[in-house]
Amino acid sequence: GPPLRALAEKRNFQIGAAVEPSLLLQEPEYARILAQEFNLVVAENVMKWGALQTSRGQYNFALADLLMDFAQKNRMAVRGHTLVWHQQLPRWMYGSFSPAEMEAILREHIQTVVGRYRGRIAYWDVVNEAVGDDAKLRPTPFEVLPDYLEKAFRLAREADPQAKLFYNDYGAEGLGPKSDAIYALLKGLKERGVPLDGVGFQVHVDLGFSPGAVRMAENLERFARLGLEIHITEMDVRLSGPGSRAERLEKQAQVYREVMRVCLGQPRCKAFTLWGFTDAHSWRSASEPLIFDADYKPKPAYLALQQAL
């Protein structure tokens, strides 16, 4: 059948994958499949704060630039990931800062990073995982600045008025207390005129996940009614669990298919991104969560997405 990318483009839809740019140089097959199958990329790590600004005021853009060049050459959209997150921060961020200093740090970083790629990054995950599993805001070095969340969005808008600005999180795909907390947070931001354009649902799940059981379609619909664009941003499906290997591969395909259908059934859901694409390179390689196997052969999950698209 046709590549996923060709099917997506017919629907004016984006199908994406997270990328480690060093692999683009090391593995021709990695680069080839990526460009053939996807029309959107996101940096799995190289645009995180700890990768970009290892010491204060010193930026390393080499790998991020490599990804941007690859995307441009292959006519792929880019999701920027991520500006404000409590993880993968450099050591120096854990110093003690006054609110004014933290504001300056945030402004400097956002202006430098978002400004560098102005007009070339279609979507930014401005804030990632700010809400904890207890439905409260997580502790983070940013919190010394009480309105850090709102500030981050305003600074990002100033630095690139064209980029669509996202809040991104996991464990909020279905209805539930965490999703309720994120809904209330985003509703409040919209009401206060904060420049927020979209919400990303990560969808790091296992074979037990069922969009029907958690009422994912209803959940997406309430966020859509806030006027937000919706993206599936980091999907992968761990293969571990009972059953034969063939059964588990089929079940994995079914989970991918169901989530894709929910997204395609929601008019505001415009992009579906996987957290990698081959089991050879995944943050959870051992549980083979992706749609190509470690030898770059398409798995049943690949065919399921192809059929759904």
| Catalytic residue numbers, as ranges | 129, 234
Phi, psi dihedral angles at 170 (to 5 degrees) = -110, 165
Per the structure block, which two tokens stand in for 155? 């600074």
Nearer to ligand XIL, 18 or 33 (CB): 18
Q: Which residues bind ligand XIL (CB under 6 A)?
A: 44-45, 128, 202, 234, 283
Q: How far is the CB of 74 from ligand XIL (least distance, A)?
A: 22
CA distances from residue 114 to 47, 54, 72, 86, 163 in whole angstroms, order as listed: 10, 17, 17, 19, 9
DSSP state of 96: -
Q: What are the DSSP E strand ranges found in the chain?
A: 14-19, 40-43, 77-84, 123-128, 164-169, 198-201, 204-206, 229-238, 269-274
Question: 83: which 2 tokens?
Answer: 């500006």
Taking the least distance from each CB to ligand XIL, the nearer of 100 and 294 is: 294
Listed residue (127, 246, 250, 237) closest to 189, CA to CA? 127
Least distance between ligand XIL and beta carbon 282 (Å): 8
Q: Cβ of residue 22: shortest distance to ligand XIL, in angstroms?
A: 12
Buried b / exposed e across 49-62, counting CB within 10 Å, b at 16+? Answer: bebbbeeeeeeebe
Looking at the DSSP bridge assignments, the partners of residue 165 are: 124
- CB of residue 114 vs ligand XIL: minimum separation in angstroms? 17
Of the pair 45, 254, the CB lying nearest ligand XIL is at 45
